[in-house]
Amino acid sequence: MEKRAIFQGRLLPFALVAPQLVVTLVFFYWPASQAVWQSFLQEDAFGLSSEFVGFANYRDLFAKADYYRTIGTTAFFSALVTALSLSIALFLAVQADRQLKGATAYRTLLIWPYAVAPAVAGVLWFFMFQPSLGLVSQGLRGLGFTWNPLLDSTDAMALVVMAATWKQVSYNFLFFLAGLQAIPKSVIEAAAIDGARPVRRFWTIVFPLLSPTTFYLFVVNVVYVFFDTFGIIDATTAGGPAKATETLVYKVYSDGRVGGDLGGSAAQSVILMVIVIALTAVQFRFIERKVQY
């Protein structure tokens, strides 16, 4: 069935899409094009004038060890958060799927974190793990661990990884649970009769059948870790100590806002933009083909 509205004249359709167009133009294309333009400019030390420098900002960026370190940090951080949030969510979803009766309460509890804004989550975790007063820190100290994410870079990384993971688990959980429930019960029963024990059943039947969900979540999580964790990092460690938790997105902010290097910061934004576009393209390609099994 074709659904097509017929409009008299030209004006009405434009009027109808105009708000959407304006929003997209003002909040996406305009800043994006600004960033691209900005990335080709260099300001003088006082920010009074700027000149066109071509790809100099990009060359500078890739010439500094600093940037590679941030790439490394981001890769490490993303890999850890994605792997953790996917596997924890999958584990919880499998448990919930087993006893769906009690799952409504269980499910609600697990969705909560997702309703919390990243910055709030960051503050929450910051307080819990605050070296001198934080509840968890005191507990850890009581157990004989020294814990200081403000000074120790490993502790800081652990903290942002935990906070970022905690936030993403609920989203992944919902998708995994839905994916699990879409697997016909009789297929699992057939495998049980076919002599596959639960663990083997999981890896040979359930996990492969979940692969479209897993792939979708993988892409979504990578995008999340790259961009949405800004609030968490800003509220907990502010990229520190000694830039140990500075990810690509955070560096855009700290170089641009704090360091005042607008050209370099813009160049970094453009690179990030290219990464998102690439990820989205990959996702669309696969979703379209539905990740064949």
Partner 1 sequence: MAEVVLTGVGKTYAGGVTAVTDVEFTVPDGAFCVLVGPSGCGKSTLLRMIAGLETITTGTVSIGGRVVNAVEPAERDIAMVFQNYALYPHMSVYDNMAYGLRNRGTPKAEIETRVREAARVLELGDLLARKPRQLSGGQRQRVAMGRAIVRKPQVFLFDEPLSNLDAKLRVQMRVEIRRLQRSLATTSVYVTHDQLEAMTLADMLVVMNKGRVEQIGAPLDLYRRPETLFVAGFIGAPPMNLIDVAIGPDGLRPVAGDAGIVGGLGIAVPATGARLGIRPEHLHVVGDEPAPEGGIALSYTVSAVEAVGAETFLHGRLGATGPDVVIREPGTIAAAPGTVRRVVARRDDLHLFDRETGRRIPLDA
Closer residue to partner 1, CB minimum distance, 47 or 195? 195
Least spacing, CB of residue 96 vs partner 1, in Å:
18
Under a CB-based contact definition with an 8 Å cutoff, are residues 156 and 241 in contact? yes
Closer residue to partner 1, CB minimum distance, 187 or 277? 187
Binders of partner 1: how many residues, by CB under 8 A? 19
Residue 214 CB-half CA count within 13 A = 16
Closer residue to partner 1, CB minimum distance, 12 or 192? 192
Q: Contacting partner 1 (CB under 8 A), which of 46, 52, 112, 293?
A: 293
Residues in CB range of 119: below 8 A, 6 or more apart: 231, 232, 234, 235
Q: Fill in the DSSP letter of residue 218.
A: H
Closer residue to partner 1, CB minimum distance, 179 or 256? 179
Least spacing, CB of residue 189 vs partner 1, in Å:
5
Residues in CB range of 205: below 8 A, 6 or more apart: 183, 187, 188, 191, 196
Residue 197 CB-half CA count within 13 A = 1
Closer residue to partner 1, CB minimum distance, 83 or 187? 187
Bridge partners of 43, per DSSP, are 50
Least spacing, CB of residue 35 vs partner 1, in Å:
43
Q: What is the DSSP string of 3-53?
A: -----SSSHHHHHHHHHHHHHHIIIIIHHHHHHHHHTTEEE-TTSS-EEE-
Least spacing, CB of residue 190 vs partner 1, in Å:
4
Contact string (CB under 8 A) for partner 1, positions 168-207, x = contact: ----------------x-xx-xxxxxxxxx--x---xx--
Contact string (CB under 8 A) for partner 1, positions 204-223, x = contact: xx--xx-x------------
Least spacing, CB of residue 156 vs partner 1, in Å:
42
| C-alpha distance from residue 119 to each of 110, 123, 155, 190, 232 (Å) | 19, 6, 19, 47, 5
Least spacing, CB of residue 100 vs partner 1, in Å:
13
Closer residue to partner 1, CB minimum distance, 45 or 193? 193
Least spacing, CB of residue 167 vs partner 1, in Å:
32
Q: Is the dihedral of CA 21, 24, 27, 30 positive or negative?
A: negative
Residues at the site binding partner 1, with contacts judged by CB under 8 A: 184, 186-187, 189-197, 200, 204-205, 208-209, 211, 293
